[in-house]
Amino acid sequence: MFNNWKIFEDNLGFVPSEEIKDKLSEYYKILVEENLKYNLTRITNEEDVYEKHFLDSLLFTKETKIDNQKIIDIGTGPGFPGIVLKIFFPETDITLIDSNNKKINFLNIVIKKLSLKQIEAKHARAEELARIENEKYDIAISRAVAYLDVILELAVRFLKVQGKLILLKGPRADEEITNSKNIDQKLKIKLINKQSLADTGFGERINLFYEKEKSTPELYPREYAKIVKESGKK
């Protein structure tokens, strides 16, 4: 049974309620049970899942107020950060998308067992769904899905003008910014904040916050193969 709530208090400024703790515990149980079938995560030790997945999914909330926004989590995998956000901020309206249907099946089990409301898991590719769900969201968020210029292009069309694009990145985010050159001008977005998190045992983390300044030019997002081919990734 996980009990190192101090790490949540130290990093988020509060200890989760009993209801949140129960939901996290149930989520962890389902994750480990279904991991054999769905191959969801290499991290399965309880302490590690709470720290490296659950807590890591929330650290950005110190920089941005989360209440009742409409949020899309792109490439959510087993639900990071989307399911964790829903557990902590039940008043949000969350769409989880992933191109891998096994992940969606798993997420639907979690949503049902935890009785989560106002949350939907969709089997979709971001670059295709973005054209359908054009400018529908207040926040688009994504963790560990693609190189910076790739994920920016996949995500930006989902956002309303002035919506926020939040990317949970590893220590090489600065290098990715440099290599992504003038992608922000092309996509009409602006980097407004960078949150550098010290290594607390699971590596240095950098979270990037962009704001959409204008509607996305018709060209974007392009086909996935083209986006990747022209990425600045070295």
Site residues, ligand SAM (CB under 6 A) = 74-77, 80, 97-100, 103, 125-127, 143-145, 154, 224
State the nearest-atom distance from the C-beta of 147 to ligand SAM, in Å: 11
Q: Which is nearer to ligand SAM, 98 or 149 (CB)?
A: 98
State the nearest-atom distance from the C-beta of 21 to ligand SAM, in Å: 21
Q: Do residues 7 and 15 make contact, with C-beta atoms less than 8 angstroms apart?
A: no
Q: Which two tokens stand for residue 33?
A: 């049970």
Q: Which two tokens stand for residue 157?
A: 């069309």
State the nearest-atom distance from the C-beta of 124 to ligand SAM, in Å: 6
Q: Which is nearer to ligand SAM, 131 or 190 (CB)?
A: 131
State the nearest-atom distance from the C-beta of 127 to ligand SAM, in Å: 6
Q: Which is nearer to ligand SAM, 213 or 232 (CB)?
A: 232
Q: Which is nearer to ligand SAM, 6 or 201 (CB)?
A: 201
Q: Which is nearer to ligand SAM, 6 or 42 (CB)?
A: 42
State the nearest-atom distance from the C-beta of 67 to ligand SAM, in Å: 22
